[in-house]
Amino acid sequence: MKDSIRFILNGEDITLSDVHPAETLLDFLRLRRRLTGTKEGCAEGDCGACTVLVGRLLDGKLFYETVNACIRFLGSLNGTHVVTVEHLAARNGTLHPVQQALVDYHGSQCGFCTPGFVMSLYGLWLSDEKPARPAIEKALQGNLCRCTGYEPIVKAAEAVSRVRPSTLFDPLEKTRSEIVSRLWAMQTRETITIVSGQDRLIVPGSVEALARVLADEPEATVVAGSTDVGLWVTKQMRALTPAIFINHLNELQAIKTTDGGVTIGAGVTYTKAFEILAPKVPTLGKLINRIGGEQVRNMGTIGGNIANGSPIGDSPPPLIALGATLKLRSATGTRMLRLEDYFIDYGKQDRKPGEFVESVFMPYPAAGSQFAVYKITKRRDEDITAVLGAFYLTLDEAGDVNDIRIAFGGMAATPKRARTVESDLIGKPWNEETVDRAREAFDADFQPLTDWRATAEYRQLTAKNLLRRFYLETVGTPVELKRFEGVS
C-alpha cells in the first residue's frame, strides 16, 4: 500500500505523505509553498482568483484544464501537473503573450483577480488558436473582475490570438513530452492511503478497489470533482474523513455511445460531457455551458451532480425527461434504476451504503421527437438555477401529443416530473390552446419556495411560460435572446 501522493508543481516533482483529506490545493500553494500569485477571492469556486491549470493524462494524452485551486483537494492530484501563474513568464522575465496582452490592453486595475484571468486565458490559448468572442466569454465565465468591466480583458484575449510567434517561449508546449513521461511514471494502480491524526484520505487504484474500500467504509465521502464537497470544507468547516478521491479513475470517465444513446461514466466532467452531447443534443450543450464557470465544468462531474441529490442540480431534469437510467455499483455487484426514482426526497436518494454511482445511460431523443431544456437564473452565466425545465415530446400522426415528459429543477425538493401537466397534454392536439389550458395543472404539480434566487410566484409563472416557449420552438417560432448571431 502506498502512503504518499505524487505530482508535478510547475517544474518540480512533489511527493507528499502528510496530506490532510481536507487540505486544498490553494492552501498548499499559498501556505506551504508561499506561491502567493494564486489568490483566494471566495473559497467556493465562483470568482476564479485561484485559477490554476491541472494537466492530466486521459487515454494516454496530456491535456491541461483550468480549475479552482480553492476547492480542489490536494488528495485529488496524484499523477497530475499543477501549473501556477509563477510558471508562465520566461526566466529572463519576458512575459508570456497572454500576460503581455493584458498589460498592453490595460486589462488589470486592482490586479487581485488578474492572475486568475491570466490562467483562464492561458488555458484558452492552449486549446484554441483563434477564439472568437463567444469562446472568450465562455473561458471567462468563472472569473470575476470588479474593476475593469472586462472590455480590456476580452480585447487582450482577442489580440493574443492574432500574435503567435513560432519562436515563442511557452512553458507547457516546450515541456509536453517530458511531462508526459514524468506523469506516466507517477500513475499507479495501487491504492494510496494517507493517515493524518484521526483523518484518512484514500485514493483507490481502480474501480474494483473503490468498491472494496466503500464496502469497508460505507460512511466515507466519495469525492469526484469536489465542486460541491469543496464547499463543505471551506464554508462549513466540515471534517472530511475518510475521503475517497475518484477523479483520477479513467474507467469512470468512459463515454460509450451507441445508436440509441450514450453511457456516461460517473466521473465524466461537464466539459467532457459537452464534447460528446453538444453535437448530438444541442440544447443540452447550451445547458452545460451555463453550469458553473469553465473551471467548475472542468472539475464537476455528471455523476456527482446526480449523486449529491440537489433539487437544483442541472443535469437530472433533462436526463429524467429523456428517460435516463442510473447504474449503481457496490462490492456485491451493480443495479440499474430509472433516474427519476433515484431522488426520493430532499437530501434523500436511493443509494445504499457501499454503493456508488457508476454511470448514467441517456437515450437520445427519438427520431421525430422534440426535446429542449431551459435554465433560468438571475445572471445568465455561472449562476445556480432558479428554475430549470426540460421537455420531451412526441406527436402522433394527427399532431396530437403522443407522449410528453416534463421535468423541472428548482420547483420542488427534488428534480421532479410535472405529471399533472403531462397528463393534461397527452392525447390533445399540440397547439397554443392546449398549452394555455395546461398552465393551471402546474399548480397541482408544484408549490415552489421563495428564496434569494426567486419568489415562488416567479418560479411558478416562469415554469408555465417555459412550456409556452417550448411549444413555440416546436412549431418553428423560437423565442430567443441572442448575444451573438447564431449563438444564444
* Residues 146-175 within binding reach of other proteins (CB under 8 A): 146-154
Q: Spell out the residues 6+ positions from residue 327 whose beta carbon is closer than 8 angstroms to its own.
A: 263, 334, 335, 336, 357, 358, 359, 360, 361
Instruction: Provide the edge-to-edge strand list for the sheet that holds 199-203.
Output: 192-196, 199-203, 243-245, 221-223
Distance (Å) of CA 378 to CA 153, 286, 297, 453, 456: 24, 17, 19, 7, 14
Nearer to other proteins, 237 or 398 (CB): 237
Phi, psi of 449 (to 5 degrees): -95, 160
E strand residue ranges, 258-400:
261-265, 325-330, 333-338, 343-345, 348-349, 356-363, 370-376, 387-395
Nearer to other proteins, 23 or 358 (CB): 23
- The grid cell for 287 is 445547458
Sites for other proteins among residues 255-294 (CB under 8 A) = none
Q: In this complex, which beta carbon is closest to other proteins, that of residue 60 or of residue 197? A: 197
Q: Which is nearer to other proteins, 16 or 472 (CB)?
A: 472
Nearer to other proteins, 2 or 468 (CB): 468
| C-alpha pair distances (Å), 180 with each of 13, 75, 237, 372, 479 | 13, 20, 36, 41, 47
Task: Tell me the three cell numbers of residue 49.
Answer: 482568483
| CB nearer other proteins, residue 95 or residue 209 | 95
Q: Does residue number 135 form part of the binding site for other proteins (CB under 8 A)?
A: no
**Beta strands 221-223 and 243-245: pairing type?**
parallel
Angle, vertex CA 306, rays to CA 302 and CA 310, nearest 5: 125
Determine the size of the site formed for other proteins (CB under 8 A). Answer: 87
Question: Which neighbouring-strand residues pair with 333?
Answer: 330
CA dihedral 130, 123, 310, 322 (to 10 degrees): 40
Q: Which is nearer to other proteins, 41 or 354 (by Cβ)?
A: 41
Name which of 13, 140, 16 is nearest 82 in CA terms: 13
388 vs 410: CA distance, rounded Å: 6
**Which is nearer to other proteins, 255 or 487 (by Cβ)?**
487
Question: Which range of residues in 39-47, 200-208, 272-280, 307-315 is near other proteins by CB under 8 A?
Answer: 39-47
Residue 312: count of CB within 10 angstroms of its CB: 17
CB of 285 to other proteins, least distance (A): 16
Near other proteins in 420-479, by CB under 8 A: 451-455, 457-458, 461-462, 465-466, 468-469, 472, 479
CB of 300 to other proteins, least distance (A): 13
Is 340 or 382 the residue whose CB approaches other proteins more closely?
382
Select the residue interacting with other proteins from 51, 66, 76, 141 (CB under 8 A).
141
- For other proteins, the closer CB: 146 or 348: 146
Nearest distance from residue 108's CB to other proteins, in Å? 4
Shortest distance (Å) from residue 116 CB to other proteins: 9
What x-and-dash track marks residues 40-59 binding other proteins by CB under 8 A? xxxxx-xx-x----------
Q: For other proteins, which stretch binds (CB under 8 A), given 55-63, 139-147, 302-310, 391-399?
A: 139-147
In whole angstroms, the minimum distance from the beta carbon of 235 to other proteins comes to 7
Q: Smallest distance, Å, CB 131 to other proteins? A: 12
Closest distance of CB 166 from other proteins, Å: 23
Interaction mask 61-100, other proteins, x per CB under 8 A: -----------------------xxx-xx-----x---xx
Min separation Cβ 360 and other proteins, Å = 25
Q: List, in order, residues 6 or more apart from 11 with CB less than 8 Å away.
A: 87, 175
CB-wise, 16 or 276, nearer to other proteins?
16
CB closer to other proteins, 213 vs 466: 466
What's the alpha-carbon Rg for the chain, to the nearest Å? 23
- Alpha-carbon distance values, 477 to 121, 395, 473 (Å): 37, 18, 5
Q: Residue 256 Cβ, how far from other proteins at the closest point, in Å?
A: 33
Say which residues have a Cβ less than 8 Å from residue 37's Cβ, sequence separation at least 6: 84, 85, 86, 115
Cell (9 digits) for 226: 469536489
Stated length of the chain: 488
Backbone torsions φ then ψ of 427, nearest 5 degrees: 90, -10
- Please choose, out of 133-141, 271-279, 307-315, 345-353, the segment that lies near other proteins by the rule CB under 8 A: 133-141
Using CB under 8 A as the binding rule, the residues of this chain from 348 to 407 that contact other proteins are 374, 376-384, 386
Residues 185-244 contacting other proteins, CB under 8 A? 234-235, 237
- As measured in angstroms, the least distance from the Cβ of 343 to other proteins is 22
For the CB of residue 467, give the shortest distance to other proteins in the complex, in Å.
10
Q: Is the peptide bond before 242 cis (omega within 30 degrees of 0)?
A: yes
Minimum Å gap between C-beta 188 and other proteins is 29
End-to-end CA separation in angstroms for the chain: 51
Mark 320-340 as b/e (b = at least 16 C-beta within 10 Å): bbbbbbbbbbbeeeeeeeebb
Kindly tell me which residue out of 58, 110, 168, 337 binds other proteins, with binding defined by CB under 8 A.
110
Q: Which of residues 5-34 bind other proteins (CB under 8 A)?
A: 30, 34
